[in-house]
Chains A and B, each alone.
Chain A
């Protein structure tokens, strides 16, 4: 993948939104949900003798989009699972919105590497998996947000890989989460589908306004989407840098090319 394919998608998106800025954008602002701060303090994690995370301290501001990059085995998936409450820390503390994470939270959603759809439930029932009052209407709205309103009645087995991951995204959006944690959700997709998913993710993020943490091994993906990049190496933060280039300028920015070089040197 190169810059051209990553940003061709974004350019299209900009054109779409530029045209109807005044009303559409204001509606988005009105619908924007809440977001939470995520705070990690001296977080340690070991599996047996193996120390996966060594005293990690990071504060993520509400609404921030942080990309975490690193080689496989650097502890980035473990980190995400700990924020989600699926695993407990061996030392240190994680808090979301000021409250320590002890178990799973309803306002934090996790997007897995695989779509993990229930094959025996139709798309709409998968999206509305948490049920609750009025789930069908909310699930339909979320499906529409990811552009799959017409596939509500299909079995997951007939969808393509990208469509399945979009359904998984809709499932995460249904409850209007305050934080969305993503564990390489686009890793298994082909380059074109991945570009589409990037556009979609940026769009729903602007609409929903959640705090986002994206785990990826693709540095360009990280630089194309996030506000801040975190490089993890041997269980420690090797680099923590803001990405100050506006999304609209990223495909041409020399500053970003420079940043990419720095990140690649650290990974």
Chain B
């Protein structure tokens, strides 16, 4: 099954760009681990707030459940992979 993710970024801020790159790399390695929507909080702050996002970069996992959030530049690949595909999913 494929996951559903939202990556909240702050325009072209460095950490946001880093997170975006790290996520793309991980997704590519997982052969289409799911769809990712990138949301610029500076462009759409209402949406971010509604989702409870205040800090960037932030990756939100909608699918698979449970909903979770991973903050930061997503530097640690192991942590990122575990977040994208929780242990109980094949």
Whether chain B is bound by chain A comes out as no
Residues of A within 8 A of B (CB): none
